[in-house]
Amino acid sequence: MATFNKEIRIKVTTTDSFFGGMVRGIYNAVVEDLNALARQVSLVEYPLGEYMHCNTPWAEIDHVLMPIRMGVHAHWILGHLDIRNRCINVYNSCWDTIRDREVVADVQSFAFVIPHLMANIDVWQPVIVNGVQRIEPLVVNLVHDIPQQHIGTDCGVFVIKYAEYFMNDNMQCMPNPFDATTERTYLASQLYKHGMHKMTEGYESDPNFLSRRERKARKAAKKK
């Protein structure tokens, strides 16, 4: 939707569920040694727009939507990287049972790693503080007054719909209360419709996308 839907006017792209695992996996190493980030090639490919299909380089957009599985709870939240304002806005569908402090603590690795990731690809520049270059962590904002789940297994569909309403610039129009069961059926029908359309029309989602294997092969060929 973010890449091909002409009705979406916000400059936005997404990550996948693997992104969060990579961020958490390298967090401690980056805290100890900032050069550790350059060695995590897969993570660096995300902001370059090279890791996923239908992605856009982060230098060309204003927002990144990130599905985040919390480390302590088996619960999904939506992280919204606001590139211009250098902050993460967090959408949690279960504020009653998962408190603010837990959410803030859970996304600290993202708040620390992402600015270094942006500097690594020369999108952001370090700031000078007392003559020393520093890369400040992102500000974490918690978004309240949003529809909440009432069934423990609904967090995934809430994350998807938060992202969809944000991309369409109408978060305020998201129904409250929100019927997750109906939305699951709607999402299933949309995926089926899209799959059938691809079969009948015979097209690929992103024909110009090169897989990581293809890119590595081309780089190796150039070296020869």
Q: Phi/psi at 133 (nearest 5 deg)?
A: -75, 130
Average pLDDT over residues 17-33: 93
* Residue 13 in tokens: 């792209």
For the chain, percent of residues with pLDDT exceeding 90: 51
Cα distance between residue 17 and residue 69, in whole Å: 7
Q: Which residues, listed in sequence order, are joined to residue 141 by a DSSP beta bridge?
A: 89
- Rounded to two decimals, the pTM is 0.85
Mean pLDDT of the residues in the chain: 87
Query: Residue 38 has what pLDDT?
Result: 82
Taking only the tens place, the pLDDT of each residue in 63-87 is 999 999 998 788 999 999 999 999 9
